[in-house]
Amino acid sequence: MTPLSERYPTNQLPAYGAGAQDGHPVGNPFLGGAPTSGAPAPPAPEGGADTLWLPIALSVVMNLVSIVGVVVFGWPAGNIFALFWVENVIIGFWSLIKVASARGTGGSGVTNFTVNGVPRQPTSAALAPFFCLHYGIFCLVHGVFTSIVAFRVGVELNFWFFGFPAILIMIRYLVETLTTWFGRGGQRERVSPGAAMMAPYPRIIVLHLAVILAFMVTMGGVAHSERLAQLKEALAPVLARLPEGAQGDGVLIVLILMVIKTIVDVLTTRKALRAGR
């Protein structure tokens, strides 16, 4: 090994811990290595765009399946709104799994909360039951409006029109959870329980707004009917290309909302999956 005096001029010898010689680990001060303190820094999170494309693609495909189901296969328009509520419940289920299993400290979310006036730490054990109650209220309100809209525009709850797409939605979020949460370099090790709890809310807001908008259109009376007629007239060239049985008001509402939902799904999915990076 070449002595330090030959490798450096006498007035330029490295200070204690200022550098490391080739072949010697950092942290050996006798060999010019920088001393370490505490555990070594964790490796950078793996997975960027490569872990984002799959859930985003699944989201887009699922929305296209719903559109094709209504337009081509004659799914009743009300089934799509019923599936909105099913998706709401499925998101809540997998989010509860994430809250209960989160190990990290990153992301923006709940940092403190109280139960019956008593401050609680935002741990997985404390947040999981709170999330069930809070999210459950959203599901209940959403379910009431969804039921009214679904039966108003027509619904048929059989396996192929309802059960099969519901299974596809479950698979969509199962794949996302296994790959981006529990997978190698997944969010589980980086995202805090509080951040995991807040992550699903941007997604379900669009589902709630879609149902409320549909409720206003279907229950709004003459004024809303006139606006719907104006909208149908503006989209007449597009509607004329649809099958004759897919030109009703319910299908039009579904098509508009699914386009909006797809755009918002991409944005909110991307944001949710980048939490804690």
Q: What is the pLDDT of residue 277?
A: 54
CA distance 91 to 54: 17
- Res 97: pLDDT: 96
State the Rg of the chain over Cα.
27
**Does this model's pTM top 0.75?**
no
**Tens-place pLDDT, residues 218-262:** 776 545 567 667 766 777 777 677 776 666 667 777 887 888 888
Q: Which of 8-12, 95-99, 272-276 has the lowest mean pLDDT?
A: 8-12
Name the CA dihedral angle for 173, 64, 86, 261, rounded to a multiple of 10 degrees. Answer: 90
Domain locations along the chain: 51-273
What is the tens place of the pLDDT at every residue in 184-209?
888 899 899 998 998 888 778 877 88
3-state SS, residue 118: strand
User: What pLDDT was estimated at residue 137?
Assistant: 92
Mean pLDDT of 23-43: 45
